[in-house]
Amino acid sequence: MPIETRIERDLKRRTLTALSVYVLDEKNRELHIRTAKHGPELVTTARVVTVDGAFVTFEVYGDFSKNLVRTLDRCTEKNVRAQHERVLARLDDLVRKVQAFYAAKNARS
């Protein structure tokens, strides 16, 4: 399944952010993969959120969240796009980790 990536430029902070959204299941869960400058590092994170109409929720310690890649690269569009695409190339593996996380969570409850 192709995943669309949106790259946004924040002129106020002079930075770029790449965001890809992958719909996980019928429970309105989405996997958000984001690459952005965080301090001196260019960081790519994955986070599962629940979408309910116009609201997006994330349960701290209850929903999947992980820093995937951290580099000291400059925040140029070329670097943001390249780092983000490297993570997206492993999307299937990431989705399996997310599914395992929620399977383990359901087994505990």
Radius of gyration of the chain (CA): 15
Q: Could you read off the pLDDT of 38-51 as tens digits, one per residue?
A: 889 999 999 999 99
Q: Could you read off the pLDDT of 23-39 as tens digits, one per residue?
A: 998 789 999 999 999 88
| Percent of the chain as helix, strand, coil, to the nearest 5 | 30, 45, 30
- Please name which of 45, 33, 98 lies closest in space to residue 70, comparing C-alpha atoms: 45
pTM of the shown model: 0.90
- Structure-token pair, residue 63: 């929903």
Q: Could you read off the pLDDT of 62-95 as tens digits, one per residue?
A: 999 999 999 999 999 999 999 999 999 999 999 9
CB distance 70 to 43 below 8 Å: yes
Q: Would you place residue 15 in the very low, low, confident or very high pLDDT band (cuts 50, 70, 90)?
A: confident
> What is the CB-side half-sphere exposure of residue 108 using CA atoms within 13 A?
7
Q: Could you read off the pLDDT of 3-14 as tens digits, one per residue?
A: 889 999 887 777
- Whether pLDDT at 2 is above 80: no
Query: What number of other Cβ atoms are within 10 A of residue 107's Cβ?
Result: 7
CB distance 80 to 35 below 8 Å: yes
